[in-house]
């Protein structure tokens, strides 16, 4: 009886749309936390600078999604608690921008090959823009004033979830440098780099990395689009954006892990397939050049190749 009455109270406070956002935010947070744990384990195995950058990048995504989920839950059940909601949303933006920064740091070791001057300029620009935007946002939330609109506040259409986010001025100041100097350069560099790679493992890894970076860029754009009144005022659009966010977050983490780390089982699988194709072509050439070779022997050799090359 007590549980039934409690559920009725909750049902009166939140609707199905709100429950959808609360549930999916928890799913995204758990998924991000799992992959962050995997990357942490990878760091303790390899103990390299690259694995440190990736561990931190995945950790920032996980922490950001957790803060975002908590802000949704507070906004759904206690929208009047604007200070907590705003601070959590501020940390979410901060962690996501930091994840992009650490993706950039890792890419300079293997993809972008920026010199010390470019890396220093990018590091200062990224760090300063992130610090200024989040500090400005926290100042407004805690009762300060600014000469320009620093935050926007709205309910997600069809839900009880209250959102406090940076204004477009702050978002552009934060994400334009991250996009231009970081994500966009990484995407184009990976496309160019992949054309010159012949090794099948490296080609597949480069492809996965690009999928991860593109997904991260699209996920960031979704967050920006959500602030548009033409988007967050329509329930259908906010649901579609949340669904796309799930897809892009999952693909950022999965393809990021597969591409940046290239686990041994994936290498064996790629090499196994590539090797068996090469061996089968050799057998076909032998069949053409040596007409006296029996087809039975060729088939037997093919079976041996397939069996040996299994990962």
pLDDT, residue 306, reads 43
pTM of this structure:
0.75
- In angstroms, the CA 21 to CA 69 distance is 9
- In angstroms, the CA 170 to CA 84 distance is 20
- In angstroms, the CA 74 to CA 85 distance is 7
196 and 282 together in one domain: no
300 and 231 together in one domain: no
258 and 274 together in one domain: no
Are 244 and 196 a contacting pair, CB within 8 Å? no
CB atoms < 10 A from the CB of 72, how many? 28
Per-residue pLDDT of the chain (311 residues; tens, 9 = 90+): 444 444 344 444 467 888 888 999 999 999 889 888 888 887 788 777 777 888 888 888 899 899 999 998 998 888 888 888 888 888 888 888 888 888 887 777 767 777 778 778 877 777 777 787 778 777 777 776 655 566 778 888 888 888 887 777 777 777 777 777 777 788 887 777 777 777 777 788 888 888 888 888 888 888 778 777 777 788 888 888 889 988 998 898 888 888 877 777 777 777 765 444 454 455 555 555 544 445 555 455 444 444 434 44
Question: Which residues, at least 6 apart from 12, have a Cβ–Cβ distance to it below 8 Å?
Answer: none
Quote the domain boundaries for residue 23: 2-262
207 and 277 together in one domain: no
Number of structural domains the chain divides into: 2
CB atoms < 10 A from the CB of 234, how many? 13
Q: Which of 218, 192, 156, 179 is nearest to 25 (CA)?
A: 156
141 and 241 together in one domain: yes
Copy the structure tokens of residue 33.
Answer: 């936390």
243 and 292 together in one domain: no
Copy the structure tokens of residue 36.
Answer: 């962050």
Q: In the chain, what is the straight-line distance between the N-terminal and C-terminal CA atoms, in Å?
A: 56
157 and 253 together in one domain: yes
286 and 146 together in one domain: no
Residue 208 has, within 13 A of its CA and on its CB side, a CA count of 21
239 and 106 together in one domain: yes
251 and 301 together in one domain: no
182 and 279 together in one domain: no
140 and 99 together in one domain: yes
Q: Which of 196, 193, 198, 190 is nearest to 216 (CA)?
A: 190
The runs of H, that is alpha helices, within 142-234 are 168-177, 184-195, 200-226, 229-232
Copy the structure tokens of residue 48.
Answer: 């390299």
Residue 172: CATH number of its domain: 1.20.1070
């Amino acid at each position: 009886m007590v549980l039934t009455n409690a559920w009725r109270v909750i049902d009166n406070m939140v609707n199905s749309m709100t429950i959808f956002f609360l549930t999916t935010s928890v799913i995204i947070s758990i998924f991000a936390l799992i992959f962050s744990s995997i990357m942490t384990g990878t760091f303790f195995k390899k103990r390299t600078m690259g694995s440190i950058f990736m561990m931190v990048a995945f950790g920032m995504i996980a922490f950001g999604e957790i803060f975002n989920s908590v802000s949704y839950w507070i906004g759904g059940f206690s929208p009047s608690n604007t200070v907590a909601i705003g601070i959590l949303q501020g940390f979410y933006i901060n962690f996501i921008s930091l994840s992009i920064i650490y993706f950039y740091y890792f890419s300079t070791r293997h993809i972008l090959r920026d010199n010390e001057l470019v890396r220093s300029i990018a590091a200062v620009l990224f760090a300063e823009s992130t610090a200024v935007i989040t500090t400005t946002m926290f100042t407004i939330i805690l009762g300060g004033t600014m000469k320009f609109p620093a935050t926007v506040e709205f309910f997600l259409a069809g839900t009880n979830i209250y959102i406090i986010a940076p204004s477009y001025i702050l978002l552009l100041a934060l994400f334009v440098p991250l996009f231009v100097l970081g994500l966009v350069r990484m995407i184009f560099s990976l496309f160019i780099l992949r054309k010159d790679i012949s090794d099948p493992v490296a080609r597949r890894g480069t492809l996965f990395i690009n999928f991860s970076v593109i997904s991260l860029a699209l996920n960031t754009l979704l967050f920006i689009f959500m602030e548009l009144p033409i988007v967050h005022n329509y329930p259908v659009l906010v649901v579609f954006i949340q669904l796309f966010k799930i897809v892009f977050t999952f693909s950022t983490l999965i393809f990021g892990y597969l591409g940046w780390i290239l686990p041994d089982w994936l290498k064996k699988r790629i090499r196994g397939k590539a090797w068996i194709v090469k061996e089968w072509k050799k057998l076909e050439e032998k069949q053409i050049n040596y007409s006296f070779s029996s087809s039975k022997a060729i088939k037997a050799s093919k079976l041996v190749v397939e069996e040996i090359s299994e990962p």
